[in-house]
Structure 1
Amino acid sequence: MERYRKVAIDLVLADPHPVVLDGLLHIFQNMDGFSVKSCATDAESALKAVMEFKPDVLITELILQNKTGLVLIEEIQKKALKTHAVVFTGACIRDVCKAIDLGVQGMVSKDKPKHVLAQCIQSVYAGKKWLDKDLTLHTLTHLLDKKTIHASLPEVLTAREMVVAKMVSEGLPNKKIAQNLYITEGTTKLHLHHIYQKLNCPGRVALALHIQSNGLN
């Protein structure tokens, strides 16, 4: 007996603009290999749709009605839902950094053609990470060019905060940092909170970039 093979990637679409939603719906309804289960303009409706239909992939803008797409992604992660998030966005750099920090597996700028978005979705569905190189490069370049982060680490951080910051730049997750320093994960998060505040830093990616650009890694 031939084993059942899934023929389409199930999707839930979330964007605050009905015109954009209609466009995405039209694209994926007429593209082989995809099945749209629901559309939503706000985060709460999107979360309900994800919980109801259990789609393979959620395509979401970071700017949504009621709550942000970042909050939506965090709630999906907290509920340990198997749906993967693909961010399709024209959001500001700070929000893009935060999305990367959340571990979003797929991200595409809204100025990219539909086949790029489709490729991203397929890669994420296959368990791979697909981040728009132009979007992430623009984000990091902007952080440097505009000098978003002004402070010098050795001048404002404590010795322990410096160690935590360097471990972040090396790609260590909070749990591993806590184990290495013999502290709790909660204490690690508190250190990071203080580091971000002191350096006016939007997240782990920007912090790592700052450390590298100052030759502190």
Structure 2
Amino acid sequence: MKILIVDDDPLVCQSLKVLLSREKDMEVIGTAQNGAEAVAFCQKELLDVVLMDIQMPIMDGIQATRQIKLDLPKVRIMMLTTFKDEKNIRMAILAGAEGYLIKSTSVTSMAQQIRALMSGSTVLDADVLKELTEPSNNEELDQLTPREKDIAELVAQGLSNREIAEQLYIGEGTVRNNLSIILEKLDLRDRTQLAIYYWKKVK
């Protein structure tokens, strides 16, 4: 399988390239140091898997994942990062990532997880899974419907109504109506208050 490694630390890119290339069924065909480079690379080269860091200059890994999955939905994306907070995990999965690993994962385990990803499995690090499944104190958010929760999360990510509509395959009018209902349920004034409220609740 052909792999692209995306990380703003050249040493990380080079180390992973050397180590993963030792796997007989894996070929690292390139590296990128930010999300914009990753998007451009994916548009030029045929590849199977992207190992994507989150925090990078110019374009972060979440934005890059969203764009790559929009252009090339068959490319599998594994987030590989030091962040294991619920906010980043949920944003990555919502953007389209099929896997989320922590950088402390051994290369042997990482190779196994990449193979699982390619076979169609969703791959989550044990610590990541724990973060997602531990009980949270989000009673107010629980009064929202699943659709309203999705919209609230995308508003918190800074997406416009049009971008939210495209992401969820609904009309802009539906987004506006749902947003009004969300603000009323949570007793908030505008989308800025909603974004602040949301991240306080899910952090």
TM-score normalised over the length of structure 2 = 0.71
Matches of 2:54 and 2:146, distance apart in 1: 32
Q: Highest CA radius of gyration, 1 or 2? A: 1
Matches for 1:152-167 after TM superposition, within 5 Å: 152-153=140-141, 161-162=144-145, 164-165=147-148
1:164 to partner: Cα distance: 4.2
Matches of 1:84 and 1:163, distance apart in 2: 25
2:116 corresponds, among 111, 118, 123, to 123
Matches of 1:188 and 1:129, distance apart in 2: 30
Corresponding residue for residue 41 of structure 2: 49
Corresponding residue for residue 212 of structure 1: none
Corresponding residue for residue 83 of structure 1: 75
> Percent identity between the aligned chains?
17
Corresponding residue for residue 133 of structure 1: 126
Corresponding residue for residue 110 of structure 1: 103
- Counterpart AA for 1:152: E
Q: Tell me, which stretches of 5 or more residues in structure 2 are unaligned?
A: 152-163, 184-190
Matches of 2:10 and 2:125, distance apart in 1: 24
Secondary structure of the 1:39 match is strand
- Counterpart AA for 2:26: F
Corresponding residue for residue 200 of structure 1: 197
- Counterpart AA for 2:60: T
Per-residue CA deviation, residues 64-123 of structure 1 (Å, 9 max, x unaligned), is 221110100111122134211111111262222211223421111112111221122111
1:32 corresponds, among 24, 27, 33, to 24
Matches of 1:87 and 1:39, distance apart in 2: 14
- Counterpart AA for 2:118: Y
Corresponding residue for residue 186 of structure 1: 172
Corresponding residue for residue 101 of structure 1: 94
Q: Tell me, which stretches of 5 or more residues in structure 1 are unaligned?
A: 1-8, 169-173, 207-217
Cα 1:113–1:12 shift into 2, 3 Å: same
1:186 to partner: Cα distance: 3.3
TM-score normalised over the length of structure 1 = 0.67
Cα 1:167–1:51 shift into 2, 3 Å: closer
- Counterpart AA for 2:114: I
- Counterpart AA for 1:118: A
Question: RMSD in angstroms over aligned alpha carbons?
Answer: 3.3
Matches of 2:80 and 2:62, distance apart in 1: 12
- Counterpart AA for 1:201: Y
Asked whether the 8 Å contact 2:65–2:77 carries over to 1, the reply is yes
Cα 1:192–1:33 shift into 2, 3 Å: farther
Per-residue CA deviation, residues 162-205 of structure 1 (Å, 9 max, x unaligned), is 5745899xxxxx99xx99xxxx5434544369469278335xxx
